[in-house]
Amino acid sequence: MIVFLIKRLANAAFVMLVVALMAFMIFRFVGDPVQLMVNEQTTQAERDELRERLGLNQSMPMQYLHFVANAVQGDFGISYRNQQEVMSLIAERFPATIELVLMATIISLVVGVPLGVITAIHRGKWYSEGLQFLSIIGVSLPSFVIGIMLILVFSVMFNILPAFGRGDVVSIGWWTTGLLTASGRAALILPSIALSFYQITLVMRLVRAEMLEVLRSDFIKFARARGVPAWRVHYSHALRNCLMPVVTMTAMNIGSLIAFALITETVFQWPGMGLLFIQAVTFVDIPVMAAYLCIVSFIFVALNTLVDITYALIDPRLRNAKA
């Protein structure tokens, strides 16, 4: 088991090093931060000197080595754009993104699971076919369109929900939450719905497929034969048996929701990590971009590693496999 753990962790570290390396290879093409940092009247000599001091004249491998050496000690430097420590910048935005992603995940489960069950049980009925059709729209509409439509309807037409921002937040230690204030809760509604749209469809289709599978199995037939009420058969026996893949997929997808929340965050000016990253790209803020990519890949790698370790705990065959 210990060997397996060490292997998995070594794998994870390797993946992160590769991600950082690719990031640094990309940075050569994103532009020159110095041109954006100084103003029009700065002379060429002053520009060259600043570039030298920032270490931008070093070769790419050297810059990469410096970055990794500092990052191992937890030092990501300070942002070119707003001169804050990169780690505290990201730590500030982290709660906003997590709150949004968790809320979207909850919405997707609360809405997606019942819809999946209904479309499976009432297969062929007009309303379940209609739901199936609507779900295709849910997958194919880009999330910024959904966001802008929600803003148009609920902010501009009915004027009941805010179009942007996070409302008032309360800080608990280093964590900030909008859940404890009325304006914070109101501000969370539209962005989390926009972010959950795609996820709802995914959960619904997964539950439907699993349900259809389970409903054909013997124990459901026996339960029916025994006279167990239909709702108990569906919601207690059958549903419980198809939740396992749903839970796994939801957990794994939290990583991609964090990464892809950046579109929703841009539309709603949600002060999360994605918005920070988008702005870092426009300003060629290399320290922030590098740290963000590392942290998001860390979240992905950590989630995957956790899932692998859990599977190994459950399934002894994986532990002994020479993987």
CA distances (Å), 139 to each of 22, 101, 125, 142, 178, in order?
30, 18, 22, 8, 28
Closest by alpha carbon to 207, among 239, 235, 163, 159? Answer: 239
Residue 77 engages another protein in binding (rule: CB under 8 A): yes
Question: CB 227: neighbour CB atoms within 10 A?
Answer: 6
4, 21, 47, 256: which one binds another protein (CB under 8 A)? 47
Token representation of residue 223 = 């339960």
* Helix axes of 239-267 and 182-215: crossing angle, nearest 10 degrees: 140
Find the binding residues for another protein in span 154-173 (CB under 8 A): 155-156, 159, 162-166, 168-171, 173
CB of 152 to another protein, least distance (A): 7
Residue with tokens 């819809």: 115
Q: Per-residue x/- marks for another protein, 180-209, CB under 8 A?
A: ------------------------------
132 binds another protein (CB under 8 A): no
DSSP assignment of 25-74:
HHHTTS--HHHHHS-TT--HHHHHHHHHHTTTTS-HHHHHHHHHHHHHTT
Q: Is 55 in the site for another protein (CB under 8 A)?
A: yes
Can you tell me whether residue 142 is helix, strand or coil? coil
Q: Which segment (135-143, 144-152, 195-203, 233-241) binds another protein by CB under 8 A?
A: 144-152
Binding range to another protein, per CB under 8 A, among 202-210, 219-227, 265-273, 311-319: 265-273
Q: Does 46 bind another protein (CB under 8 A)?
A: yes
Position among 1, 7, 69, 84 found at the interface with another protein (CB under 8 A): 84
**Taking a C-beta distance cutoff of 8 angstroms, is the pair 290, 27 a contact?**
yes
Query: What are the DSSP calls for 258-301, one per residue?
Result: HHHHHHHHHHTT--SHHHHHHHHHHTT-HHHHHHHHHHHHHHHH
Give residue 25's identity as a one-letter amino acid code.
M
The two three-digit tokens of residue 98, written as one number: 């997590």
**Nearest-angstrom CA–CA distance, 308 and 289:** 28
Binders of another protein among residues 57 to 76 (CB under 8 A) are 74-75
Chain residues 266-305 in contact with another protein, contact rule CB under 8 A? 266-269, 271, 275-276, 278-279, 282, 284
Name which position in 59, 83, 124, 322 contacts another protein (CB under 8 A): 83
CB of 72 to another protein, least distance (A): 13
Residue 310 found at the interface with another protein (CB under 8 A): no
- The residue within the footprint of another protein, chosen from 40, 216, 225, 314 (CB under 8 A), is 40
From candidates 176, 192, 253, 297, binder to another protein by CB under 8 A: 176
Q: Please say which residue, 101 or 267, places its beta carbon nearer to another protein.
A: 267
The binder of another protein chosen from 5, 17, 87, 299 (CB under 8 A): 87
- Cα–Cα nearest to 253, from 110, 102, 141, 99: 102
Residues at the contact surface with another protein, assessed by CB under 8 A: 29-32, 35-47, 49-50, 53-55, 74-75, 77-85, 87-89, 91-93, 148, 151-152, 155-156, 159, 162-166, 168-171, 173-174, 176, 266-269, 271, 275-276, 278-279, 282, 284
